[in-house]
Amino acid sequence: MKVKSKLRLMDGHCYISSGRTAAFLAQRLVFLVLRLAMLLVILVTFYIFYHILSNGIGVISLEFITAMPRKGMTEGGILPAILGTFYITLITALAAFPVGVFTAIFLNEYARKNMFTRLVRLSIRNLAGVPSIVYGLFGVALFVRALALGTSILSAGLTLGLLTLPVTITASEEALKSVPDSYREGALALGATQWQAIRTNVLPSAVPGIMTGLILGLSRAAGETAPILFTGAAFYLPRLPSSLSSQFMALPYHLFILSTQHHAPDKVRPIAYGTALVLLLLVAAMNMTAIMIRARFRKAAARR
Amino acid sequence: MENSVKIVTEKLNLYYGNFQALKEVNLEVCSGKVTALIGPSGCGKSTFLRSLNRLNDLIDSVRVEGEVRIDGENIYDKSCDVVRLRKKVGMVFQKANPFPKSIYENVAYGPRIHGVRDKKVLDRIVEKSLREAALWEEVKDNLSRSALRLSGGQQQRLCIARVLAVEPEVVLMDEPTSALDPIATQKIEDLIRALKQKFTIVIVTHNMQQAARVSDITAFFLNGEIVEVGNTGLLFTQPVDQRTEDYITGKFG
Ligand SMILES: Nc1ncnc2c1ncn2[C@@H]1O[C@H](COP(=O)(O)OP(=O)(O)OP(=O)(O)O)[C@@H](O)[C@H]1O
Ligand SMILES: [Mg+2]
């Protein structure tokens, strides 16, 4: 065995006791299991990606991403869905970023560590586990009805904003926690107010972590169907949204319709694959951005 | 500078929750002198130091009784402006804590938050403070370098410069040389001796020789109480209290 021969000393005598060998075997077994688990994950991921890529790549063309759908979505492109997803994601970001970051700042920097804040934190963690359809229905009740925003980009974007809030808050809090206390104390000891210390000394170090969390939250939101189902996503709308109160098409919902709700599912299958690929690329691009921000921050930190 | 009383603590009690960390501490600190605080680990030296600029306020569980008067004003009074207090009473921490900014920005940080905008004025303050902290010659060619890339000793002098830049009257130092080698330590000690003309300095140290070298007055803390205060020379040669003698002769602690 390879492992054994390595440990044989110069004189050729093998010093490995049988107990050691058993430990080595156990170690190898564990490695094997770990490696298999990893392989399984990679295989599944790659298979899904390969499947969508090979079926969708032929469909994607300049026309596909810049044209309107035609003839009951059996022809043409998916521009309204791309733009719709883009707009609601933008609203989501604009809503989730300030609320999430300010909540995190409050919880981590200002709030006393007592039962109340523990309870708030627990609730936020739990919100992350609430099924997305519940957010959708809540969005209908709050934004569409109570605030009378109607079924619109605004309602859907805000609903998705709620959905990403737990992720944004938690990630922002982690980012703030990772800023050493000495940055705060150092600033305060110089006579800075708490907000000055946070703004000039804490936030700059936390921003990369906050951005990473926000983008990961958004990339999840961009792929959600249930929360936008009743809050503004349209079945078929062959024109571009004209304002925040317009209904819209969105990539995940479009995909859902093409693959399950369409009257001629076989006919639109290629378009469905194309839509899936575009959505996948969009989410992948967002995740890549998050990774790049993190990597750049790491490098900057290493340089210091 | 005449040696008048700058800081007076009177029956200062401090609690972390139920734990009493300072017990009836009475101490007078004179301006123009270096006061050293010595005592075994955990006896409350840092706690005491941090109660002089109200940095303990940051800890939720802390409760303070008694008075700390600086220039006659009780800093625990409701009317006391904590920002002004901390500008007047600067602090150098045990572990050098430069901000993740350039050398220049570190020193300019204090003046900036206190409203200095003029670049020329800032330049002047930065140079003056770095000179006072005996760091200017080493860094003047590259002030835009990240402060985190300075050596430990340089970082600590930078932190001192950062404090001096806001023109404090009192400088608190919590074991400022505990992480430094003998040469860097000596530089800081020289600095302390030079600075005492202008500032009231209170320094916590575990190093008895250091206390003897730099301080005029020494206070010995034990279990949150001051056991003995006196002229440094006298305290180290003729301690009155048996516990002080045991400590400085290394019998415990
Ligand atoms: N944040 C805190 N919460 C609760 N107890 C604390 C806190 N900080 C310090 N203490 C306690 O108060 C006592 C005094 O601590 P302090 O840090 O002032 O000691 P010290 O004399 O500076 O020790 P050292 O020489 O090791 O730095 C210790 O018993 C410590 O456990
Ligand atoms: Mg201490």
Query: CA–CA separation, A60 vs A66, rounded Å?
Result: 10
pLDDT at residue A303, as a whole number:
58
Measure B232 CA to ligand 1 centroid, in angstroms. 24
Nearest to A215 by CA among A176, A253, A171, A251: A171
Residue that is written with structure tokens 């571009």 in the block: A240
Q: What is the pLDDT of residues B169-220, one digit of tens each?
A: 999 999 998 888 888 889 889 989 999 888 999 999 999 999 999 999 999 9
SS3 B67: strand
What confidence score (pLDDT) does residue B97 get? 94
Question: Which of the ligands is closest to the CA of residue B55?
Answer: 1
What's the CA gap between B22 and B164, in Å, rounded?
A: 29
Contacts of B111 (CB under 8 A, 6+ apart): B121, B122, B125, B165, B166
B5 DSSP β-pair partners:
B30
pLDDT confidence of residue A203: 93
Q: What is the pLDDT of residue A14?
A: 56
Nearest alpha carbon, ligand 1 atom 14:
B44
Here the ipTM equals 0.91
- Residue-level pLDDT at A301: 65
pLDDT of residue A2: 45
Residue nearest to atom 30 of ligand 1 (CA): B42
pLDDT at residue number A5: 47
Which residues of chain A carry a pLDDT beneath 70?
1-20, 301-304
Check if B163 contacts A (Cβ < 8 Å): yes
B212 vs B233: CA distance, rounded Å: 7
pLDDT for A11 equals: 56
Q: Which two tokens stand for residue B146?
A: 């990240």
**CA B185 to ligand 1 center in whole angstroms:** 24
- Which ligand is nearest to the Cα of residue B45, counting in written order? 1
Which residues in chain A have their CB less than 8 angstroms from residue B169's CB? none
A152 close to A232: Cβ distance less than 8 angstroms: yes
Strand partners, B25: B12
The bound ligand whose nearest atom lies closest to the alpha carbon of B58 is 1
> Is there a contact between B58 and A201 if contact means CB atoms under 8 Å apart?
no
pLDDT at A18: 56
Give the percent of chain A with pLDDT over 70.
92
Q: For chain B, give every domain's residue range.
A: 5-97+168-248
User: Cβ separation of B83 and A182 shorter than 8 Å?
Assistant: no
Rounded CA separation A158/A164 (Å) = 10
Q: Are B189 and B177 in contact (CB under 8 A)?
A: yes
| Separation between Cα atoms, residue B149 and residue B103, nearest integer Å | 10
With contact defined as beta carbons under 8 Å apart, do B106 and B150 qualify?
no
- Residue A304 has its nearest CB partner, among B60, B146, B162, at B146
Dihedral (CA of B174, B180, B185, B191) sign: negative
Domain B5-97+168-248: give its CATH architecture.
3-Layer(aba) Sandwich (3.40)
* Chain B contacts in chain A segment 135-194 (CB below 8 A): 180, 182-193
Q: Under DSSP, is residue A70 helix (H, G, I), strand (E, B) or coil?
A: strand
Cβ of B83 under 8 Å from any chain A Cβ? yes
Tell me the longest C-alpha to C-alpha distance in chain B: 57
Task: Compute the nearest-CA separation of A191 from chain B (Å).
Answer: 5
Any CB–CB contact under 8 A between B115 and chain A? Answer: no
Contacts for A108-113: CB closer than 8 Å, 24+ residues apart? A108/A173, A108/A176, A108/A177, A109/A176, A109/A184, A109/A194, A109/A198, A109/A202, A110/A194, A112/B60, A113/B60
Residues of chain B with pLDDT under 50: 1, 253
Do the Cβ atoms of B139 and B145 come closer than 8 Å? yes
| Atom from ligand 1 closest to the CA of residue B59 | 1
The reported pLDDT for the residue numbered A4 is 47
Q: Confirm if B236 and B220 have CB atoms less than 8 A apart.
A: no
pLDDT at A17: 57
